[in-house]
Amino acid sequence: MPRPEEVAYYIQGLWLLLKGKPEAFGYLDLSERGFWRSWWSLLYSLPPLLLVYAARRDLYLSDSVVGTQIGGDFFFKMAALDLAATAFATIALFIVARLGGFRQQAPAIIIVTNWLSVPLVWMSSIQNLIQLYVPGSEIASGIAELIYFSLTVYICTRLINRLVGGNSLITAASVLTLFIVPIVCGYYLASIIGLVPGS
């Protein structure tokens, strides 16, 4: 498991890559070992993810019939949903990369987006805290969520574009796959396991 200082080192590399600095690659482990180690990002993202799940639980109850109760398994279902959506997105990216002729670059894209998820999910705590603790904040939390999503897409697009040497087609294919697949799969899986009100 990477130590916290190693994670900070990787995130510094992402920042340098975002700015287009060539020395960024010296901070990132893009090897096969680095690919498998990058999945520890899930553990480093766990604390703010619990806050995300709490906010989604609050939203679920607000959209449900008055008196609806949900148990602690809601959090386990949310975690399972996120893991499944991530797995589907990863598999889909490798398939798209193979078909699109950029198979060798796919692992590096996964490594970068995995470590990128750590600062991004911690940043999402702001909107979730607003939703949970500020009464009547639906509009404010909605605006914060839109800003967060737009910023996530922008940063992800820019990083992947830098990573693949400015190839717009590879960038577009990767970003669309990594965002659309989890959204579509997540919605259908959520309906199956009862995370959509009325399902």
pLDDT at 199 > cutoff 60: no
Q: What is the pLDDT of residues 43-72, one digit of tens each?
A: 999 999 988 888 888 777 776 655 566 767
Q: Which amino acid is at 90?
A: T
pLDDT at 145 > cutoff 90: no
* Cβ-based neighbour number of residue 97 at 10 Å: 21
Q: Where are the domains of the chain?
A: 4-192
The pTM of the full predicted model, rounded to 2 decimals, is: 0.88
Can you give the chain as a three-state secondary structure string?
CCCHHHHHHHHHHHHHHHCCCHHHHHCCCCCHHHHHHHHHHHHHCHHHHHHHHHHHHHHHHHCCCCCCCCCCHHHHHHHHHHHHHHHHHHHHHHHHHHHHCCHHHHHHHHHHHHHHHHHHHHHCHHHHHHHHHCCCCHHHHHHHHHHHHHHHHHHHHHHHHHHCCCCHHHHHHHHHHHHHHHHHHHHHHHHHCCCCCCC
> Contact at 8 Å (CB) between 10 and 28?
yes
- Residue among 92, 118, 101 nearest 37 (CA): 118
**Percent of the chain residues past pLDDT 90, beyond the cut:** 60
**pLDDT mean over 135-149:** 80
